[in-house]
Amino acid sequence: MEHFTIATVAEKSADFRRVLWTGKHTQLVIMTIPPDGEIGEEVHEDTDQVLTFVSGVGEARVGGQKKKVEAGDLVAVPAGTKHNFVNTGPNPLVLYTVYGPPEHAAKAVHHTKEEADEAEESGKDEPPTS
């Protein structure tokens, strides 16, 4: 069994993206988006994503709609939907997200967005296969 006090774990991480746990059908990831930063516009064709915000403020851009997000908010992104999350505040935007099925390599740690983008482009951030 894996157990996390998820908000505390997320707040202690300065990494852009850190995979905490990967199962057969889902994956738990924490993210810290720096001020003026963003996740980057993307589409996960076959993966649903649920994001829960721990601290900071930002803007969710999902399926052509925009909405402010802050601590305690949850946003569901259905597979195939274009989305981006942007930090609009002076402090890091901290969140945890669950992907179903997994989206990233098990135990992956990307300290910066640039490092995450490089891993994705090189194919080193592929999710585990069943």
pLDDT in tens, 70-99: 999 999 999 999 999 999 999 999 999 999
Q: For the structural domain made of 6-122, what CATH number should be given?
A: 2.60.120.10
Burial level of 63, CB count in 10 A (0-12/13-18/19+)?
Answer: exposed
List, in order, residues 6 or more apart from 12 with CB less than 8 Å away: none
Average pLDDT value for residue range 34-42: 97
Residue 120 binned pLDDT confidence (cut-offs 50, 70, 90): confident
Q: Delimit the domains of the chain by residue range.
A: 6-122
**pLDDT > 90: what percent of the chain?**
88
